[in-house]
Amino acid sequence: MPMDSSAPVQPSLAPLRPNSQRIDATPGAPAGAPATTLVSPTAPAGPATPAAEGTTPTATAPRPSGQVTIDSDLQQADQATGIITATGNVRILYPDQRVVATARQAQYFTKEDRVVLSGDVDVIQEGGNHLRAERVIYLIKADRVMAEPAPGQQVFSKMVIQQKAAVPAAPAKPSLPPPSAPVAPVTP
């Protein structure tokens, strides 16, 4: 799929295909639960604390919830291995990181805090970051991503690199300190 580098990349929030189903159940929920929402144990959970009575609430960024929503044709959770597998038209929303990912299969290894996406993986982050590969491995605790291409292909990535503000240079210091009092000549 050719990319137009001048066009901004926006996460696709298109509805699912008619034959796919959305499942939002908590890991460890009984089989047949109607939904799958993954919550990372490393992310703080819960809503922000409300403002005390008589005070004005301050504008703060919402606290991360660690919540991830997965839409796919089929989802399975194996309690013995701790592996959650989603297959067919997989679409993952990770609002805390402003990420939308699509793949043919996604596996969450709960015991290892590892996510493996495979088959036409496309990861788009709001702000312009984009990754396309055959397989992407995300190590949650290490916050590390590894991408592998299909045989004979390459991994594609587009990143927005944040520029740090320039720090003004310090004024040059004189090599000798200025004399504080007149110096008397030395006599032998």
Q: Where are the domains of the chain?
A: 21-44+62-158
What number is the average pLDDT over the span 21-36? 40
Reading the block at residue 122, the tokens are 């496309």
CA distance 73 to 104: 10
Q: 56 to each of 47, 50, 53, 63, 71, how far by Cα in Å?
A: 18, 10, 8, 19, 39
- Taking the C-alpha atoms of residue 132 and residue 125, their distance in angstroms, rounded to an integer, is 12
Task: Quote the mean pLDDT of the chain.
Answer: 73
Q: Which of 87, 136, 90, 98 is nearest to 114 (CA)?
A: 136
Q: Is the pLDDT of residue 144 over 50?
A: yes
Residue 105, amino acid:
Q
pLDDT, position 97? 86
Q: Long-range contact list for 22-29, CB < 8 A, 24+ apart?
A: 22/69, 22/71, 23/70, 23/71, 23/72, 23/75, 23/86, 24/69, 25/77, 27/77, 27/84, 27/108, 27/110, 28/77, 28/79, 29/77
Q: Residues of the chain with pLDDT > 70: what percent?
A: 55
Could you identify the residue written with the tokens 């038209």? 89
Looking at domain 21-44+62-158, its CATH class is mainly beta
Sorted by sequence, the CB contacts under 8 Å of residue 12 that are 6+ apart come out as 100, 102, 124
pTM (2 decimals)? 0.57
How far apart CA 53 and CA 180 sit, in angstroms, is 61
Instruction: Render pLDDT for 38-97 as a digit per residue (tens, 0 to 9).
Output: 443 333 333 344 444 554 545 565 677 888 899 999 999 999 999 999 999 999 999 988
SS3 of 174, please?
A: coil
